Amino acid sequence: MQSLRFTALENLSGVDLKIKPEQFNGKITEVFGSNVFTGKVLRENLSDEAYKSLMNSIKAGSKIERKMADQIAAGLKQWAMKKGVTHFTHWFQPLTGTTAEKHDSFFTIKSDGSAIETFDGDALVQQEPDASSFPSGGIRATFEARGYTAWDPSSPAFIIEQGYGKTLCIPTIFVAYTGESLDYKAPLLKALSALDKAAVDVCNYFDKNVTKVTATLGWEQEYFLVDENLANARPDLIMCGRTVVGHAPSKGQQLEDHYFGSIPERAYAFMRDFEEESYKLGIPLRTRHNEVAPSQFECAPIFEEVNIAVDHNSLLMDVMNKVAKRHKLKALLHEKPFAGINGSGKHNNWSMATDTGVNLLAPGKTPKTNLMFLTFFVNTIKAVHDYADLMRASIASASNDFRLGANEAPPAIISVFVGKYLFEVLQEVKTRVNNKFDEQDEAILKLDLHRHIPELMLDNTDRNRTSPFAFTGNKFEFRAVGSSANCASAMTTLNTIMAKTLQVFKKEVDSLIEKGEKKEIAIMQTLRKYIVDSEKVLFEGDGYSEEWAIEAEKRGLPNIKTTPQALDALVTPKAAKLFTETGVYNEKELHARHEILLEDYVKRVQIEARVIGDLATNTILPAAISYQNTLIENIRGLKDIGLGEDAVKAQKQIAGKIAEHINVISENVQAMIEARKVTNKLTDSRQKAIDYCEKIKPYFEVIRYHSDKLEFLVDDKQWALPKYRELLFLR
């Protein structure tokens, strides 16, 4: 029987490139947000009273009265039913990393037997999905499976259209009955509210009119596209999201001919299609292009308030997966689907904006607003310096471990790039603010800095792409986030550490003011102290280089390469203090997260180990043995017709090499299985994760090395797994 690989390859030539989205030639603005309950639609479907109450609650982050919830539910139902919606769901982001839905229909039967469609405030505000199968890290024993989802009014409801129907989705948080959060959204909302308060307090030094600060996020989503039939012939892609074996193709990314090249027709059709779906859902996608590796692409939206941006990214990943199916493609969101070429990240561009319309990380137009910029800028550096371990933990996952430090992604060392001009600005503050620093010095320094800062714009071009956390002119870009991650993890940490740093900053400045210091001098002095305290985290050079790892070690910066150890940062007294004082997590929640993340790590590595064992035993070795038999027959035949040793030299050599590789693979698969048995007996999650990392994962490399050698030696026709050259070059 022909292998799946060749069937897939045959089908490939017949792929209909005309699977196109319904020709969409209108304006984006005509469809944008058409499936979202926001803006004009709110006005049309809500009473004045309900509208105002919803707006207030969004602005203040407060609860909505029960009576109003009923009215809003009625408005939502009216809007949704007009659009042909039959079901609704609370949409949430459990710690599995994907989104969750449980659909209920509007349809119900009343006591008198009549059928009606209902949706009331209760159904909008709170639901009780059976939560026993979602990770809880020990917060909930399975026998008390109760958890509930609660409406997040700050993220608008939306409608998902699928082939067979339409569903109204209500963004919610997911919490245990005892109150602990079980999802990504609940802690994120708490972090954003802590940041809002702390940032407003600091803004008020400069501008009393500021009453709200919102953190902003613009993510960039990288992904690979692979033909669906080919992907289906790769159990590793299907089950692990990455290839665990595969010989490097003769042509990889060395010609750099894919980056920003013209987009292949098939990928383009897919993009147009998922973009249109995204527009309807209000996801403001803006850019699309080819990335560095073959078949790698990127899309990015216009930035939004963090909570909404996070929802939009989660939604987008889901939309991409679904739309890819229509195009007989598979979208790979894994951080490292292919060895030897670039992996995928999800850069998180982050800043803060005031309700007076100021981007707090954009250099100001006047000396005074520049001091405000400098304050937020330096506080960010200080936050990252003080909590680098938590930043590292926030991006740790089994899949991101393959990417970080892999020569095309930031290393696991957290450092901050600020660019030449701002580096000089920091140096000026450091040298000029001293004990004798008085009002006049302060005025001159402020003016001097102001003269410096406009040059910043030039600095934009001199980007450092190797830094995990880089200032890019009017925002910081956290580049170490993995492509499959929920941005909420990184964003919760970043906004929490920023909130805490600003709180402490305010205290320190206030105490100087109390001692009689003038406000602006107190600010400058505190900033100077922060610059000195955190300058070791600043790094302007090549983050990919060997020298940086050595230099970072000298500076005492942590370089934690693997997830199990990186996660330790979550359970330190420092983390407990930070997260409890900011109200983002209590200690129980922190320990639960730690546990969940360790378990996730173990499960993922375990699945990979099994897939590798399976593939080696029943796909790779049989191909090698069967080709070996062909060689043996050939050797025998040549000898039968009377040819001597010379005639069979090459065949013998190849057969011998194959035998060696077969032996090594077979021995290592056995050894890996035995090692797993030992590791699986461990009951301590941390130790188990460490053992999976240090005792099981090393087998992957050995098995892969020998399998790739076999792939090179074995007759192409007998190799069952689609090769890199087939997977990577999308036709």
Positions that interact with ligand ADP (CB under 6 A): 216-218, 220, 287, 300-303, 347, 349-351, 359, 474-475, 477
* Binding window for Mg ion (CB under 5 A); candidates: 45-53, 215-223, 553-561, 604-612: 215-223
Nearer to ligand ADP, 220 or 389 (CB): 220
Distance from C-alpha of 142 to C-alpha of 622, rounded to nearest angstrom: 43
Report d(CA 510, CA 663) in Å as an integer. Answer: 71
- Is the alpha carbon torsion for 376, 184, 590, 393 positive or negative? negative
* DSSP H/E element including 574: helix 573-581
Joined tokens for residue 680: 């699986």
Residue 505: contacted member of Mg ion, ligand ADP, none (CB under 5 to 8 Å, by partner type):
none
- For 441-461, letters b (16+ CB in 10 Å) and e give ebeebbeebbebbeebeebee
In whole angstroms, give the CA distance from residue 547 to residue 549. Answer: 5
Applying CB under 5 A, which part among 75-83, 340-348, 498-506, 513-521 lies near Mg ion?
340-348
**CB 94, min distance to ligand ADP, A:** 26
d(CA 272, CA 278): 10
| Count of residues making up the chain | 731
Distance between alpha carbon 578 and the CA centroid of its chain, in Å? Answer: 23
Read off the tokens for 634.
């050939």
| 336 contributes a contact to Mg ion by CB under 5 A | no
**Closer to Mg ion by Cβ: residue 264 or 468:** 468
Q: Which stretch binds Mg ion (CB under 5 A): 220-228, 278-286, 463-471, 653-661?
A: 220-228
Closest approach of ligand ADP to the CB of residue 558, in Å: 26
Tell me the residue number closest to ligand ADP, measured at CB.
218
Nearer to Mg ion, 220 or 442 (CB): 220
300 contact choice in Mg ion, ligand ADP, none (CB below 5 to 8 Å, kind-dependent): ligand ADP
On whether the CB atoms of residues 526 and 508 are closer than 8 A, the answer is yes
Distance in angstroms (rounded) separating the CA atoms of residues 258 and 267:
13
Residue closer to Mg ion (CB basis): 226 or 470: 470
434 binds, among ligand ADP, Mg ion, none (CB under 5 to 8 A by kind): none
CA distances for 710 relative to 613, 663, 718, angstroms: 16, 12, 11
User: Helices (H) and strands (E) in the chain — how many of each?
Assistant: 27, 17
Residue 568: strand, helix, or coil: helix
In terms of CB distance, is 233 or 353 closer to ligand ADP?
A: 353
Return the residue nearest Mg ion (CB atom): 347
Distance CA 429, CA 532 (A): 10
Cβ of residue 217: shortest distance to ligand ADP, in angstroms? 6
CB of 220 to ligand ADP, least distance (A): 5
Stretch that binds Mg ion, among 81-89, 101-109, 213-221, 310-318 (CB under 5 A): 213-221
Residue 475 binds: one of ligand ADP, Mg ion, none (C-beta under 5 to 8 A by kind): ligand ADP
Closest approach of ligand ADP to the CB of residue 404, in Å: 18
Query: Shortest distance, CB of residue 496 to ligand ADP, whole angstroms?
Result: 17
For ligand ADP, the closer of residues 464 and 666 by Cβ is: 464
Instruction: Based on the shown chain and the rule CB under 5 A, indicate whether residue 346 belongs to the binding site for Mg ion.
Output: no
Q: Is 347 in the site for Mg ion (CB under 5 A)?
A: yes
Q: Which of 366, 369, 347 is nearest to 358 (CA)?
A: 369
Nearest distance from C-beta of residue 477 to Mg ion, angstroms: 5
- Burial group, residue 60, by CB count within 10 angstroms (0-12, 13-18, 19+): exposed
Distance separating alpha carbons of residues 236 and 244, to the nearest angstrom: 6
Nearer to ligand ADP, 83 or 465 (CB): 465
Residue closer to ligand ADP (CB basis): 169 or 319 = 319
> Kind of pairing, strands 87-91 and 103-105?
antiparallel
Min CB(119)–ligand ADP separation in Å: 35
* Minimum CB distance to ligand ADP smaller for 463 or for 555: 463
Shortest distance in whole angstroms from residue 216 CB to ligand ADP: 4
In the complex, the smallest distance separating the C-beta of residue 363 from ligand ADP, rounded to whole angstroms, is 12
Q: How far is the CB of 499 from ligand ADP (least distance, A)?
A: 17
Q: What burial class does residue 606 get, using C-beta atoms within 10 Å of its C-beta: 0-12 exposed, 13-18 middle, 19+ buried?
A: middle
Task: Rank residues 472 and 582 by Cβ distance to Mg ion and give the closer one.
Answer: 472
Strand 158-162 to 165-176 pairing:
antiparallel
Looking only at the bridges linking them, the beta strands covering 213-227 and 165-176 are unpaired
Beta bridge partners of 147: 176
Complex with ligand ADP: residue 306 or 531, whichever CB lies closer: 306
Binding site for Mg ion (CB under 5 A): 220, 347
